[in-house]
Chains A and B, each alone.
Chain A
């Protein structure tokens, strides 16, 4: 069964009977589509020992029996130019301890780029393992008036060659029959030159013998790129796509969000009516429903965003985005593909971090992973919208611009700018090192297979759902318990609200909140904020539901959380949430890493606890210092 929280990095325990087929090919060749078609959702993700390279493997259920499919990272060459690539090359030749040499290799090549892909095929053949070549995009080659004789290619190379349309792969494909006989695939004995001049001549002669005719340009690609990559129109279109992206986050998903939210409200009132035992009613409505509901109401939005990102990636747009932004990213010591990962992190850092697998340089990869959580993810929105709506006046600043919107935009800008600055710092200090050459293929625009888009969307969404179902549920229940235990008898002179407040202050959570008051005193945090903050270390959304719980208990039921926060005072009568404190909370949330899911993904993608620890540490320091500065500055100004 698929599992995304594998602690180990070892391969599937192979028995003698199960053949292990290595899937090798360049990015954009349709390799992942084939892998998904073969293994469905039965794929496991792990790491190669000692490096940040991710390995994916799964079981293909063929009529003739099961087969292990090892999806190697997309590559243009088996001649390594980095330590990461060295490990992958070793894994293929069986020289990597802890991995077995594959039984056979399935080389995946794109028919439309065969003139280049043959170089990789030559390298694969030199490995001396049973090999089969699968040629994808044969329909596109035909549509673009290209030509390639697969049976002649098979004769020239000395290995089976089969053509497929990767998105339409099914049981009847000849590829399936071939996979069943993987052990019998021939080992090529054709000598292939490695000297560049000789290799060039060899390629020319092979291409001639297989009746190769280069396909014409992809009809729509050139037309669209002339706009999208035009110096002026390109940048404008780019921002239009970005704005569209954010429209989806802020406006279009709202009806769905409201639907889920009112569903949970209904559930809450149902509990109030039918669950008679007060502690259980409290646990269910304040702990479980409020906690989980806060997260799940964002699920429609999140899924929509993941779908969009996955679609844009697979249609080929993200490569253009990387192309446009490469120059800006280079100033931060990164590259264009890092921008795509950071962009995805606006939805959620988890898929953003996973998408760094396309970045060849491991130092660039780690730098991007370390700053991805600074991109304003959607989990911060409940906190931002609550605090901004409650404490920031909606006054007009200039024309249609209002203060509330401007503050929100400012928070986004702060997150984004600090991500780039900190990445630059990391790349100049801790992650300094030999840089890899930058190169990137720009694929033609292609309509992605729906299965690929959905599988990738689910890959990311599953983390989000799991977060709601386990981390947030667990934290909410625990927090509820800690806020209501131990049960104390309040002094008789207190009224109902004051008694509830007293109970919470004396509870385990309340005591902890007051105990760490000195730590957060420079930020102006009250004990309630401290308690909510501790809870939100597991997931940011818990902050709002915890604060909501505390405020609801201390006030009449018809007082909204915003009103409660505004009205709350400290023992000396001054407001508990002056502008300085609100500013400090907002800035704290811009920087702090408060998400166990993100930490877990960081650990998996970097194959160690060191980088998640560094990330958490530096972000906490930034958050604390930033909050203290914000508090001091705001206090001086108000």
Chain B
């Protein structure tokens, strides 16, 4: 998967076991959501790994800064990431 200016890669695009680094929070994201995502540790340069999806498909569990954070698609789509590293 490659991140392009037209379709930037987000946390939501990560597959199970894929890791990447946060580039930042999307500008389309509402202010309160982006502030909360940053305070949850999703800062530029932070590495994130997609651990698993919930049994019914949503939300998704990510490993961030040493803890497990689950987000729905609406929120994980707000976080821009670099091209993924490894599987």
Q: Of A203, A327, A437, A439, which is within 8 A of B56 by CB? A: A327
Interchain CB contact under 8 A, A200 and B45: yes
Query: How far, in Å, is B34 (CB) from chain A's closest CB?
Result: 9
**Residues of chain A with a CB closer than 8 A to B56's CB:** 235, 324-328
Q: Of B39, B55, B58, B68, which is within 8 A of A119 by CB? A: B39
**Residues of chain B with a CB closer than 8 A to A116's CB:** 40-41, 64-67
Interchain CB contact under 8 A, B59 and A323: yes
Once the chains are docked, how many angstroms separate the CA of A215 from the CA of B70? 20
Interchain CB contact under 8 A, B75 and A439: yes
Query: How far, in Å, is A447 (CB) from chain B's closest CB?
Result: 18
Interchain CB contact under 8 A, A196 and B36: no
Once the chains are docked, how many angstroms separate the CA of A438 from the CA of B59? 9
| Per-residue interface assignment for chain B, residues 28 to 49, with 1 indicating a CB less than 8 Å from any chain A CB and 0 otherwise | 0000110111111101111000
Interchain CB contact under 8 A, B35 and A441: no
Q: Of B39, B59, B69, which is within 8 A of A326 by CB? A: B59
Contacts A/B (CB < 8 Å), 30 sampled: A76-B36, A76-B40, A77-B39, A77-B40, A79-B35, A81-B35, A112-B66, A113-B66, A115-B65, A115-B66, A116-B40, A116-B67, A200-B43, A200-B44, A323-B59, A324-B54, A324-B56, A326-B59, A327-B57, A327-B58, A336-B59, A437-B37, A437-B75, A438-B74, A439-B75, A440-B59, A440-B70, A441-B67, A441-B69, A443-B67
**Residues of chain A with a CB closer than 8 A to B24's CB:** 196
Interchain CB contact under 8 A, B46 and A200: yes
Stretch at the interface among A226-234, A351-359, A498-506, A563-571: A226-234
For window 436-482 of A, CB contacts with B under 8 Å fall at: 436-443
For window 573-601 of A, CB contacts with B under 8 Å fall at: none
**Residues of chain A with a CB closer than 8 A to B68's CB:** 441-443
Residue A214, interface by CB 8 Å: yes
Query: How far, in Å, is B17 (CB) from chain A's closest CB?
Result: 13
Query: How far, in Å, is B32 (CB) from chain A's closest CB?
Result: 4
Query: How far, in Å, is A320 (CB) from chain B's closest CB?
Result: 9
Once the chains are docked, how many angstroms separate the CA of A77 from the CA of B65? 16
Q: Of B33, B35, B44, B53, which is within 8 A of A77 by CB? A: B35
- Contact size class for A? 35 or more
* Shortest 3 CB-CB contacts between residues of A and residues of B: A77-B39, A81-B32, A115-B65
**Residues of chain A with a CB closer than 8 A to B33's CB:** 81, 437
Residue A273, interface by CB 8 Å: no
**Residues of chain B with a CB closer than 8 A to A238's CB:** 55
Once the chains are docked, how many angstroms separate the CA of A230 from the CA of B51? 12
Additional pairs, 19, CB under 8 Å, beyond known A81-B33, A115-B65, A327-B54? A76-B36, A76-B39, A76-B40, A79-B36, A81-B32, A82-B32, A113-B65, A115-B41, A116-B40, A119-B39, A196-B24, A232-B55, A323-B70, A325-B56, A327-B57, A437-B36, A439-B36, A439-B40, A441-B69
Q: Which residue in chain A gives the minimum CB-CB distance to B53?
A: A231
Once the chains are docked, how many angstroms separate the CA of A513 from the CA of B60? 56
**Residues of chain B with a CB closer than 8 A to A16's CB:** none
Once the chains are docked, how many angstroms separate the CA of A117 from the CA of B70? 17
Known: A113-B66, A229-B54, A439-B69. A119 touches B41 (CB 8 A): yes
**Residues of chain A with a CB closer than 8 A to B43's CB:** 196-197, 199-200, 203
Once the chains are docked, how many angstroms separate the CA of A82 from the CA of B40? 16
Interchain CB contact under 8 A, B72 and A113: no
Interchain CB contact under 8 A, B65 and A442: no
Name the residue among B39, B58, B61, B75 with the largest chain A CB count within 10 angstroms: B39
Q: Of A113, A200, A232, A442, which is within 8 A of B70 by CB? A: A442
Query: How far, in Å, is A127 (CB) from chain B's closest CB?
Result: 15
For window 308-337 of A, CB contacts with B under 8 Å fall at: 323-328, 330, 336
Once the chains are docked, how many angstroms separate the CA of A199 from the CA of B33? 18
Q: Which residue in chain B gives the minimum CB-CB distance to A444?
A: B68
Residue A120, interface by CB 8 Å: yes
Once the chains are docked, how many angstroms separate the CA of A207 from the CA of B45? 14
Name the residue among B38, B64, B74 with the largest chain A CB count within 10 angstroms: B38
Once the chains are docked, how many angstroms separate the CA of A131 from the CA of B63? 30
Query: How far, in Å, is B39 (CB) from chain A's closest CB?
Result: 4
Interchain CB contact under 8 A, B72 and A330: yes
Once the chains are docked, how many angstroms separate the CA of A437 from the CA of B61? 15
Q: Which residue in chain A gives the minimum CB-CB distance to B73?
A: A438
Q: Of A215, A231, A436, which is within 8 A of B55 by CB? A: A231
**Residues of chain A with a CB closer than 8 A to B58's CB:** 326-327, 330
| Per-residue interface assignment for chain A, residues 231 to 246, with 1 indicating a CB less than 8 Å from any chain B CB and 0 otherwise | 1101100100000000
Once the chains are docked, how many angstroms separate the CA of A233 from the CA of B32? 36
Q: Which residue in chain A gives the minimum CB-CB distance to B54?
A: A323
Query: How far, in Å, is A289 (CB) from chain B's closest CB?
Result: 49
**Residues of chain A with a CB closer than 8 A to B32's CB:** 81-82, 436-437
**Residues of chain B with a CB closer than 8 A to A215's CB:** 66
Q: Which residue in chain B gives the minimum CB-CB distance to A144?
A: B66
Query: How far, in Å, is B76 (CB) from chain A's closest CB?
Result: 10
Once the chains are docked, how many angstroms separate the CA of A231 from the CA of B57? 8
Q: Of B55, B64, B65, B72, which is within 8 A of A234 by CB? A: B55
Once the chains are docked, how many angstroms separate the CA of A76 from the CA of B41? 10
**Residues of chain B with a CB closer than 8 A to A323's CB:** 54, 59, 61, 70
Interchain CB contact under 8 A, A196 and B38: yes
Q: Which residue in chain B gives the minimum CB-CB distance to A146?
A: B66
Q: Which residue in chain B gives the minimum CB-CB distance to A231?
A: B55
**Residues of chain B with a CB closer than 8 A to A112's CB:** 66-67
Q: Of A119, A197, A214, A326, which is within 8 A of B66 by CB? A: A214
